[in-house]
Amino acid sequence: MSLLLNMVIALAAALVGGVICRGIRLPVIIGYLAAGIAIGPYGFGVVKDTGDIQVLAEIGVVLLLFALGLEFSLSTLRRTGRVAIFGGIAQILITAALGCLMGWLLHWPVREAVFFGFLIALSSTMVVLKTIMDRGELNTTHGRIMIGILLVQDLSVVPMMVILPSMGGAGASLLPALGIAALKAIGFLGGMLVLGIWVLPRLMRGIARVRSRELFLLGVVSLCLGAAFGTYYFGLSVALGAFVAGLLLSESDYAHQALAEIIPLRDIFATVFFVSLGMLVDLSFIGDNIGVVIGVVAAIIIGKFLISSIIVRLFGYSAKTNILVGAGLFQIGEFSFVLAGVGLEAGVISSYIYSLTLTSALVTMLLTPFALSLASFAYHRLSQRGAFARLATRRIDSDFEKEGQPSNHAVICGHGRVGGSLTKVLELRKLPYLVIDIDPRVLDSLRARGIPCIYGDASNPEILSRAGLERARVMVITFDDPMATDLAVRNARRIAPKLDVVARVHRDFDAEALKGLGVAELVRPEFETGLEIIRHTLHRFGVSSLEIQYIINSLRERG
């Protein structure tokens, strides 16, 4: 009954913490971690024996990596481009070097310093993904880059789980240990590949033919846990087996259904995993080592921020993208906990390094949502200052300057899905337009087609001053960033007070503010979707087109 009681306490505490964080618009993971701290042996001591919770947390790790394998997409990496693959690899290696330097300055043994470096190189996919989804920035340039780099980091966990635990050997025994670990991994992966090509498709097809969700779920869970036990039997990490099983299944026709069935189980056990992490955070350790903790956390935040920002900058992205990517990736990730536990069990790192990693990860995770908000606010404020605004315009295309300013044209701010659809129509009608975008890959394709374009942030007054707004027919703002939209409208109005502006907006509050600035047309995607659904539904009931249009117009006027 102790297992049941501890499970109930952990889930109830996670529920309370998650609800509170949801209410104040923070990622629920932060609530889970805080709940674990509160009920754990170093908090109020409601749960004194964490052994049962740790067993359930291990299952959470297995399911988490299995789902990651199912969701892993090479096409996502290809869409993001070189910055995700090469930038992600560079970020891991440079950050690992930073961790080694920190360990050297703190006089740690070399292997502990190296291990710590790779621990801090990983960022939190779950925290970052949840934060940018809540902010509506999933499809922004900086959002896509962060997801691409995080995918590379998640994939790097697999070789890390094979190599890093083998560092427990010393001197001459280290190389043979690495060789044995590599042979075990190759043997396991070879066996899994054979099963994935010849056995797994037939097995899943046979289970699917039964047409039972229960049996399908049992088959998926059995595959996940069986692969995890297989790696354990080979002396490797259970998480590695789960990831490989998910990766093999992701290439089959049953991947989507498997993911849909496994997600509820994954979420429950992943919740227990994060609560268990909170339980392991020793508050007395923080009190006894407050100076080291503050120094290490500050070095991680500043170092990872600068490393990520500079790498993205080297790939040609704007100041806004650099700052937001740096602010989004400075935390230590959930898979660092998994690696740290493996390293502690293998004797590679001491309990001191383990506790320091847990503490640093918890603090950096808690700070991430605030850092992104602060970075966005600071950038938009600075971008309106003369010196910073001029600094951000250094990369305006010289070809555009040579061609001369267009006239009687549309200025399209953002060339995503919405902007791309608009430019296709304008191109078919042979109507002139100019594009402003902060993604250099987008501008490369536009420039190759001979389309006038400006590289930069459309909320920057210096950028807008080059777009010929005084001679433009209309400016269309397609990106989904309320603060940037507001600033773009204000700056455009200063340059061309009579310019027609069409803007994309989501919240009623933002719509009212933009109306006050004189925006001619406001388009709310969710609202327009609702009107189209109403139109089609009424049509199916035989309502005349004239009456449907009257209803739609009435709703739009009131909307």
Residue 523: per-residue pLDDT: 87
Rounded Cα–Cα distance for residues 12 and 39 (Å): 10
What would the two tokens of residue 346 be?
Answer: 């293998």
pLDDT at 303 over 90: yes
Cβ atoms 131, 140 nearer than 8 A: no
Using alpha carbons, list the distances in angstroms from residue 494 to 107, 186, 307: 58, 64, 37
pLDDT at 185 over 90: no
| Coil/strand/helix, residue 465 | coil
Residue 74: per-residue pLDDT: 57
pLDDT at 398 over 50: no
Residue 547: per-residue pLDDT: 93
CATH topology of 2-167+264-365 equal to that of 391-523? no
Q: Which residue has the tokens 């869970």?
A: 221
* Cβ-proximal residues to 269 (8 Å cutoff; 6+ apart), any chain: 56, 57, 59, 60, 63, 64
Residue 95: per-residue pLDDT: 94
pLDDT at 404 over 60: no
* Cβ-proximal residues to 393 (8 Å cutoff; 6+ apart), any chain: 456, 460, 462, 463, 466
Residue 389: per-residue pLDDT: 60
SS3 content of the chain, % helix, strand, coil (to 5): 75, 5, 20
Percent of the chain past pLDDT 70, that is, above it, reads 90
Cβ atoms 151, 77 nearer than 8 A: yes
The full set of domain ranges for the chain reads: 2-167+264-365, 391-523
Q: Which of 243, 248, 230 is nearest to 338 (CA)?
A: 243
The model's pLDDT over 148-161, given as tens digits with 9 standing for 90+, comes to: 888 788 778 777 87
β-sheet bridge partners, residue 411: 434, 475
DSSP 123: -
The model's pLDDT over 40-49, given as tens digits with 9 standing for 90+, comes to: 888 888 887 7
Residue 78: per-residue pLDDT: 64
Q: Which of 490, 482, 477 is nearest to 411 (CA)?
A: 477
Rounded Cα–Cα distance for residues 200 and 197 (Å): 7
- Cβ-based neighbour number of residue 24 at 10 Å: 9
Cβ atoms 390, 460 nearer than 8 A: no
Label residue 46 exposed, middle or buried (CB < 10 Å: 0-12, 13-18, 19+): middle
What would the two tokens of residue 271 be?
Answer: 């919740």
Residue 72: per-residue pLDDT: 65
Rounded Cα–Cα distance for residues 50 and 40 (Å): 8
- Cβ-based neighbour number of residue 72 at 10 Å: 16
Residue 14: per-residue pLDDT: 92
Residue 475: per-residue pLDDT: 94
| Coil/strand/helix, residue 45 | coil
Cβ atoms 293, 359 nearer than 8 A: yes
Cβ atoms 338, 61 nearer than 8 A: yes
Q: Which residue has the tokens 């297992």?
A: 3
DSSP 172: G
Q: How is domain 391-523 classified at the CATH fold level?
A: Rossmann fold (3.40.50)
2-167+264-365 under CATH 1.20.1530.20, yes or no: yes
Residue 399: per-residue pLDDT: 45
Q: Which of 457, 441, 446, 418 is nearest to 148 (CA)?
A: 441
Quick one: average pLDDT of 332-338? 82
β-sheet bridge partners, residue 523: 504
Of 62-71, 265-274, 325-334, 370-379, least confident by mean pLDDT is 62-71
Residue 131: per-residue pLDDT: 77
Q: What predicted TM-score, i.e. pTM, was given to this entire model? A: 0.74
The model's pLDDT over 473-493, given as tens digits with 9 standing for 90+, comes to: 999 999 888 888 888 998 998
Q: In what helix (H) or strand (E) does residue 229 lie, and over which residues does it extend? A: helix 213-233
Buried b (16+ CB within 10 A) or exposed e, 138-168: eebbbbbbbbbbbbbbbbbbbebbbebbbbb
- 66 pLDDT band (50/70/90 cuts)? confident
The model's pLDDT over 215-266, given as tens digits with 9 standing for 90+, comes to: 888 988 898 888 888 877 776 667 777 878 887 887 777 888 888 888 888 8
Phi, psi dihedrals of residue 233, rounded to the nearest 5°: -65, -35
Rounded Cα–Cα distance for residues 135 and 114 (Å): 35
Q: Which residue has the tokens 């700070």?
A: 367
Cβ atoms 379, 319 nearer than 8 A: yes
Using alpha carbons, list the distances in angstroms from residue 134 to 138, 373, 523, 524, 559: 9, 11, 21, 18, 24
Quick one: average pLDDT of 54-61? 78
Q: Which of 325, 301, 461 is nearest to 382 (CA)?
A: 461
Label residue 19 exposed, middle or buried (CB < 10 Å: 0-12, 13-18, 19+): exposed
HEC-encoded secondary structure of 396-432 = CCHHHHHHCCCCCCEEEECCCHHHHHHHHHHHHCCCC
Phi, psi dihedrals of residue 277, rounded to the nearest 5°: -65, -40
pLDDT at 180 over 80: no
Q: How do strand 410-413 and strand 474-477 relate by DSSP bridges? A: parallel
Q: In what order do the strands lie in the sheet containing 410-413?
A: 453-455, 433-437, 410-413, 474-477, 500-504, 521-523
